[in-house]
Amino acid sequence: MALEKHVHRLSTAEYDRVVNSGALDGLRVELLDGLLVDMTPQGERHARVIQRLMQRCRERMDVLRVQMPLAVAEGWTPEPDLALAEQSPDPDRHPTTALLVVEVAVSSQAIDRRKATVYARAGVPRYWLVDLPARTVIEHTEPSPDRYRVVAPLSDDAPLDAGVPGVEVTSVAALFAM
Protein backbone atom coordinates (compact mmCIF):
# COMPACT_ATOMS: atom_id res chain seq x y z
CA MET A 1 0.00 0.00 0.00
CA ALA A 2 1.47 3.35 -1.04
CA LEU A 3 1.32 5.81 1.82
CA GLU A 4 0.96 8.72 -0.61
CA LYS A 5 -2.57 7.52 -1.52
CA HIS A 6 -3.64 8.04 2.09
CA VAL A 7 -2.07 11.42 2.81
CA HIS A 8 -4.47 14.31 3.35
CA ARG A 9 -3.09 17.48 1.83
CA LEU A 10 -4.24 20.67 3.49
CA SER A 11 -5.86 23.36 1.41
CA THR A 12 -4.71 26.91 1.96
CA ALA A 13 -8.01 27.66 3.73
CA GLU A 14 -7.59 24.66 6.06
CA TYR A 15 -4.01 25.70 6.81
CA ASP A 16 -5.12 29.26 7.59
CA ARG A 17 -7.79 27.94 9.97
CA VAL A 18 -5.21 25.79 11.78
CA VAL A 19 -2.80 28.74 12.03
CA ASN A 20 -5.54 31.07 13.27
CA SER A 21 -6.61 28.52 15.90
CA GLY A 22 -3.13 28.68 17.43
CA ALA A 23 -2.57 24.95 16.96
CA LEU A 24 0.78 25.58 15.25
CA ASP A 25 2.06 28.18 17.71
CA GLY A 26 5.70 27.52 18.49
CA LEU A 27 6.20 25.23 15.49
CA ARG A 28 8.44 26.35 12.62
CA VAL A 29 6.53 24.92 9.66
CA GLU A 30 5.36 26.12 6.27
CA LEU A 31 2.71 24.76 3.89
CA LEU A 32 4.31 23.27 0.77
CA ASP A 33 2.20 21.31 -1.70
CA GLY A 34 -0.45 20.85 0.98
CA LEU A 35 1.99 19.38 3.49
CA LEU A 36 3.33 20.86 6.71
CA VAL A 37 7.10 20.98 6.24
CA ASP A 38 9.54 21.68 9.06
CA MET A 39 11.68 24.74 8.53
CA THR A 40 15.38 24.30 9.19
CA PRO A 41 16.75 26.13 12.25
CA GLN A 42 18.94 29.09 11.40
CA GLY A 43 22.64 29.24 12.12
CA GLU A 44 24.58 32.48 12.46
CA ARG A 45 25.84 32.47 8.83
CA HIS A 46 22.25 32.13 7.63
CA ALA A 47 21.14 34.99 9.89
CA ARG A 48 23.98 37.25 8.73
CA VAL A 49 23.09 36.82 5.07
CA ILE A 50 19.45 37.68 5.83
CA GLN A 51 20.57 40.72 7.80
CA ARG A 52 22.83 41.83 4.95
CA LEU A 53 19.93 41.45 2.51
CA MET A 54 17.66 43.45 4.81
CA GLN A 55 20.23 46.26 4.86
CA ARG A 56 20.27 46.28 1.05
CA CYS A 57 16.47 46.60 1.07
CA ARG A 58 16.20 49.31 3.74
CA GLU A 59 14.90 51.89 1.25
CA ARG A 60 11.93 49.59 0.56
CA MET A 61 10.69 48.88 4.07
CA ASP A 62 7.19 49.44 2.67
CA VAL A 63 7.36 46.05 0.93
CA LEU A 64 10.03 44.19 2.93
CA ARG A 65 8.84 40.90 4.46
CA VAL A 66 11.25 38.75 6.44
CA GLN A 67 10.22 35.13 7.05
CA MET A 68 6.56 35.96 6.50
CA PRO A 69 3.99 33.93 4.55
CA LEU A 70 3.23 34.32 0.87
CA ALA A 71 0.08 32.58 -0.40
CA VAL A 72 1.55 31.90 -3.84
CA ALA A 73 -0.69 28.99 -4.86
CA GLU A 74 -3.37 26.69 -3.53
CA GLY A 75 -1.70 24.51 -0.89
CA TRP A 76 1.48 26.62 -0.93
CA THR A 77 2.17 29.19 1.79
CA PRO A 78 5.96 29.29 2.02
CA GLU A 79 7.72 31.68 4.38
CA PRO A 80 10.74 32.84 2.38
CA ASP A 81 13.70 34.29 4.21
CA LEU A 82 13.08 37.60 2.45
CA ALA A 83 10.49 38.90 0.04
CA LEU A 84 9.59 42.27 -1.38
CA ALA A 85 5.81 42.10 -1.68
CA GLU A 86 2.94 44.55 -1.68
CA GLN A 87 0.46 44.08 1.16
CA SER A 88 -2.82 42.47 0.26
CA PRO A 89 -5.75 44.93 0.43
CA ASP A 90 -7.49 42.33 2.61
CA PRO A 91 -5.87 42.40 6.08
CA ASP A 92 -6.70 38.69 6.52
CA ARG A 93 -4.87 37.59 3.35
CA HIS A 94 -1.21 37.11 2.64
CA PRO A 95 0.32 38.55 -0.53
CA THR A 96 0.03 36.19 -3.49
CA THR A 97 3.14 37.32 -5.34
CA ALA A 98 6.28 39.37 -4.78
CA LEU A 99 8.75 41.54 -6.66
CA LEU A 100 11.65 39.47 -5.29
CA VAL A 101 11.85 36.29 -3.20
CA VAL A 102 15.02 35.06 -1.49
CA GLU A 103 15.56 31.69 0.17
CA VAL A 104 18.84 31.15 2.05
CA ALA A 105 19.80 27.47 2.15
CA VAL A 106 22.32 25.54 4.20
CA SER A 107 20.69 22.12 3.78
CA SER A 108 17.27 22.94 2.22
CA GLN A 109 18.40 23.36 -1.39
CA ALA A 110 16.15 20.57 -2.72
CA ILE A 111 13.07 22.03 -1.04
CA ASP A 112 13.94 25.54 -2.15
CA ARG A 113 14.48 24.39 -5.76
CA ARG A 114 10.99 22.88 -5.69
CA LYS A 115 9.55 26.23 -4.58
CA ALA A 116 10.93 27.83 -7.78
CA THR A 117 8.13 26.39 -9.92
CA VAL A 118 5.47 27.80 -7.61
CA TYR A 119 7.16 31.20 -7.42
CA ALA A 120 7.33 31.27 -11.24
CA ARG A 121 3.64 30.36 -11.48
CA ALA A 122 2.86 33.21 -9.04
CA GLY A 123 4.64 35.63 -11.38
CA VAL A 124 7.55 36.46 -9.06
CA PRO A 125 9.95 38.13 -11.51
CA ARG A 126 13.11 37.30 -9.58
CA TYR A 127 13.87 34.42 -7.18
CA TRP A 128 17.27 34.02 -5.54
CA LEU A 129 18.29 30.74 -3.97
CA VAL A 130 21.29 31.60 -1.82
CA ASP A 131 23.32 28.40 -1.43
CA LEU A 132 25.52 29.08 1.60
CA PRO A 133 27.83 26.02 1.37
CA ALA A 134 28.48 26.64 -2.34
CA ARG A 135 28.77 30.43 -1.84
CA THR A 136 26.54 30.82 -4.87
CA VAL A 137 23.27 32.56 -5.68
CA ILE A 138 21.09 30.76 -8.19
CA GLU A 139 19.12 33.53 -9.85
CA HIS A 140 15.76 32.65 -11.43
CA THR A 141 14.22 35.16 -13.85
CA GLU A 142 11.64 35.29 -16.64
CA PRO A 143 8.81 33.36 -14.96
CA SER A 144 6.39 31.33 -17.04
CA PRO A 145 3.41 29.20 -15.95
CA ASP A 146 5.57 26.11 -15.36
CA ARG A 147 9.12 27.33 -14.61
CA TYR A 148 11.64 30.11 -14.79
CA ARG A 149 13.03 30.42 -18.29
CA VAL A 150 16.41 31.67 -17.06
CA VAL A 151 18.25 30.02 -14.16
CA ALA A 152 21.82 31.22 -13.66
CA PRO A 153 24.30 30.38 -10.90
CA LEU A 154 26.15 33.52 -9.81
CA SER A 155 29.31 33.59 -7.72
CA ASP A 156 32.25 35.77 -6.72
CA ASP A 157 31.99 39.29 -8.11
CA ALA A 158 28.87 38.69 -10.17
CA PRO A 159 26.45 41.57 -9.64
CA LEU A 160 23.14 41.04 -7.90
CA ASP A 161 20.34 43.21 -9.20
CA ALA A 162 17.06 42.85 -7.36
CA GLY A 163 15.24 44.56 -10.22
CA VAL A 164 13.38 46.69 -7.66
CA PRO A 165 13.88 50.46 -7.51
CA GLY A 166 15.45 51.55 -4.23
CA VAL A 167 17.16 48.22 -3.57
CA GLU A 168 20.91 48.56 -3.53
CA VAL A 169 22.73 46.45 -6.09
CA THR A 170 25.61 44.42 -4.69
CA SER A 171 27.77 41.48 -5.63
CA VAL A 172 27.56 37.85 -4.61
CA ALA A 173 30.93 38.18 -2.83
CA ALA A 174 29.62 41.08 -0.72
CA LEU A 175 26.62 38.99 0.29
CA PHE A 176 28.90 36.25 1.64
CA ALA A 177 31.45 38.55 3.30
CA MET A 178 31.65 37.48 6.90
Q: What confidence tens digit (pLDDT) does each residue in 26-42 have?
A: 999 999 999 999 998 88
Q: State yes or no: pLDDT of 49 exceeds 80.
A: yes
**Mean pLDDT score of the chain, rounded to an integer?**
93
DSSP the chain: --GGGGPPPPPHHHHHHHHHHTTTTT--EEEETTEEEEPPPP-HHHHHHHHHHHHHTGGGTTTEESS-----BTTBB---SEEE-PPPSSTTS--S--SEEEEEESS-HHHHHHHHHHHHHTT-SEEEEEETTTTEEEEEEEE-SSSEEEEEEEETT-EE--SSTTPPPEEHHHHH--
pLDDT of residue 178: 66
Domains located in the chain, CATH noted: 40-176 (3.90.1570.10)
Mean pLDDT computed over 94-107: 96
pLDDT of residue 157: 87
Q: State yes or no: pLDDT of 2 exceeds 80.
A: no
Q: State yes or no: pLDDT of 1 exceeds 70.
A: no
Return the higher-pLDDT residue of 168 and 80.
80
pLDDT of residue 168: 83
pLDDT of residue 124: 98
Q: State yes or no: pLDDT of 5 exceeds 90.
A: no
